[in-house]
Amino acid sequence: MKVLLAHPGSELYGSDRMAVAAAAALVQAGHEVLVVLPSDGPLGPLFTDAGASLEVVDLPVLRKALLKPKGLIGLIGRMPRTISRSRRLMRDEAVDVVYANTITQPWWLLAARMSRRASLVHVREAETEIPVIAQRVLLAPLTLADVAVSNSASTMQHVIDRGFRMAAKSRIVYNGKDWAPYFRSAFDGVGPSPEILFIGRLNPRKGPDVAIRALARLVQRGIDARLTVVGSVFSGYEWYLHELEGLVSELKLESRVEFAGFQSDAAPFLQRASILVVPSRIEPFGTVAAEGMAAERPTVVSDVQGLVEIVDDPSIGRSFPVGDDEQLAVVLEQIVVDDDLARSLARRGRLSVLDRFSPESYARGIVAAVETAADNGRKNPRKAAR
């Protein structure tokens, strides 16, 4: 088959790398893959290295800015051209299956239905912080897909609860990849000056502010800790970086917090880290938590959505209530002062990730989902003819 994989970005965060792994799995299974990105960036060459072909097509991507009145009007105005370009690309490339990676480009599903192509949507988001009616509107286009893949049980349940007749077409494929690049040295204890690490997109839902406030509490308790923040903001969210920098200044942590910006390779930061924190307020899966555990570093996550499916036992990692910087500080202090606990969490966490989130299981799940979408599409009379 020929699969068109539409991905909404060109950077190198967790969901971006998992898209590359999906493309590689399909290529290795004998399918031809065309990847469509909305812009150039460092992600593109990874797709071509994986054996996919690549096209950059300036199509819109749903961001919060587009949901404001001015942005929404502009988005609606672009829809006829967007659908037309999408359908033309499907026709010219003789595409059999459309794979919409994330829910931020739902017009691919509509274009596929209009062009009588099978389609799959890979849901990596669970927008639970917006009103229920908005959740339903956001998920409504998913009913056009033949198969809906979710990255966790939490995400799938959200799709079923807020979507329309999604239960029969939904399935889970947990993220899985080669974890070897993240393991560069065995964990040798926290030490007297803990190096705490945050990796992720800088936005409120990822909770870097919670990590900063927890650091302040540790310092107040006499712990000589530091925090490195690895990540950048979406264009238009620069205000949030300024807000974080202001918080650091307010708490007098300038000498203890480093903003390292986006890093294409986070492994060196994991190597020097004592503890990884993932304080997300919303996290459908949380690949960075699995990366930290694979790197054999004690990992602390908020008790939300997919994160508690990764850290599902206190013997492999620790959790704290969402947004509660006091409890995060308590958990971090427990790990800092108990080196046996820290070493045990690091060792058991690594073994857990290697066992449960393998690249082989991810590849099998993706290929099976795409092939099922194609089968379902062939059975659907609306898609039987070209």
Nearest of 194, 228, 223, 224 to residue 211 by alpha carbon = 228
Distance CA 376, CA 373 (A): 5
Please provide residue 87's backbone torsions phi and psi, each rounded to the nearest 5 degrees.
-65, -40
What 3-state class would DSSP assign to 367? helix
Strands 226-230 and 257-261: parallel
pLDDT per position in the chain (386 positions), as tens?
Answer: 999 999 999 988 778 989 999 999 999 999 999 999 999 999 999 999 999 999 999 888 887 655 555 656 767 777 899 999 999 999 999 999 999 999 999 999 999 999 999 999 999 988 877 889 988 988 999 999 999 999 989 899 999 999 999 999 999 999 888 888 888 888 989 988 999 999 998 999 999 999 999 999 999 999 999 999 999 987 778 899 999 999 999 999 999 999 999 988 889 999 999 999 999 998 988 889 999 999 999 999 999 988 999 999 999 999 999 999 999 999 999 999 999 999 999 999 999 999 899 999 999 999 999 999 999 877 665 544 33
Distance CA 286, CA 175 (A): 9
Partners of 227 in the β-ladder: 196, 257
Q: Which domains does the chain have, with CATH numbers?
A: 2-177+359-383 (3.40.50.2000), 180-356 (3.40.50.2000)
Partners of 149 in the β-ladder: 122, 171
Query: Dmax of the chain from CA atoms?
Result: 71
Strands (E), 96-246: 97-101, 118-123, 147-150, 170-172, 195-199, 226-230
CB neighbourhood size of 72 (10 A): 12
Asked if residues 34 and 26 have their Cβ atoms less than 8 Å apart, the reply is: no
CB neighbourhood size of 198 (10 A): 26
- How distant, in Å, are the alpha carbons of 98, 141, 176, 180 from that of 184? 37, 43, 19, 8
